[in-house]
Amino acid sequence: MNMRRVLLPVLVCLVLLCGCKRKEERPSTPLAQVNGETLYLEDFRATFSDEQWAALSSEQKKQEIEDWVNVTLLAQAAEEQKLDQESGVKQRIDYAARKIKANALIARRMSQMEISEEALFAYYRLHRSDFQGKLQEYDVQRIFLTDANAASILFKRLQEGLNFDEAALSYSQEPLKDKLGYMGYVTANGPDSLFWRAAHGLKKDEPGRLATAGGVYLLRYINQREGSQEANFEDYKGEIRAILLAEKLNQVYEDLLRELKAKDNKIYYY
């Protein structure tokens, strides 16, 4: 099924990173310590919007914390080698800081907007032809790891082009590794619906991650086919919400720029 895709400005590709409605809190709940540097729950929580935080499972939060620890460790090593003093690195840090500030401004405006159930259904009715048909089924391949940190490292390697078949055979910790992790087709209401939902949010051959109580699954789908189950509004609510958020994001971006440029801001190009 061909869905409408909304292109976002490069500037705001990382937007919705802050919970702008929350008041600033003094950090008080330690999560981890890396070479004497303490990482606090309050700082960790502040990097997510309320919606993003609510959507994270306990396993996903553990994974995010582990990623934060890893990044901190790498950053400390870079500082020890004085890489942060190199001009090129300084410029990238400065640019990243500007993007974060810009994203915070956009996120604050976005936090004042809500997408109601009525708005979702109105979009569904208006674009019903885009959402008609039967739900897709996905031919899924997976790798299972009990260690979240190892899964995170392998996930990045898969994103960088590591062969999925080889990774499944070498690293998967379940009997399915003997079949290179091939599950076959999964469906929305079948026993493997968790994998269907994870695959549904991916593009073909794009690696994804599914955290469970027992460990982490890295997965991708290699083929898809039309299933027998008719799709309905409930099946597409998440997809519609993402479309509407992207549309609002573009509008907020344009509105803010128009407002700022209408003021007495002096901009020169050479």
Question: Are residues 223 and 244 located together in one domain of the fold?
Answer: no
Question: Are residues 159 and 195 located together in one domain of the fold?
Answer: yes
pLDDT-derived band at 166, boundaries 50, 70, 90 = very high
Question: Are residues 21 and 95 located together in one domain of the fold?
Answer: yes
Question: Are residues 210 and 245 located together in one domain of the fold?
Answer: no
A 10 A CB-CB count for 152 gives: 19
Question: Are residues 106 and 55 located together in one domain of the fold?
Answer: yes
pLDDT-derived band at 19, boundaries 50, 70, 90 = very low
Question: Are residues 108 and 29 located together in one domain of the fold?
Answer: yes
For position 27, what pLDDT does the model report?
Answer: 66
Dihedral angle sign, alpha carbons of residues 48, 51, 54, 57: negative
Question: Are residues 254 and 214 located together in one domain of the fold?
Answer: no
Question: Are residues 191 and 245 located together in one domain of the fold?
Answer: no
Question: Are residues 146 and 93 located together in one domain of the fold?
Answer: no
Question: Are residues 244 and 225 located together in one domain of the fold?
Answer: no
Answer yes or no: is 129 within a domain.
Answer: no
DSSP for 73-109, written as a single string = HHHHHHHHTTGGGSHHHHHHHHHHHHHHHHHHHHHHH
Q: Give the count of domains, the chain.
A: 2
Query: Which domain range does residue 80 map to?
Result: 10-119+238-262
Question: Could you report the per-residue pLDDT of 55-105, keeping only the tens digit for each?
Answer: 777 778 888 899 899 999 999 999 999 999 999 999 999 999 999 899 889
Whether pTM exceeds 0.75: no
A 10 A CB-CB count for 53 gives: 14
pLDDT-derived band at 236, boundaries 50, 70, 90 = confident
User: Measuring CA to CA, which residue among 113, 122, 155 is closest to residue 250?
Assistant: 113
pLDDT-derived band at 51, boundaries 50, 70, 90 = low
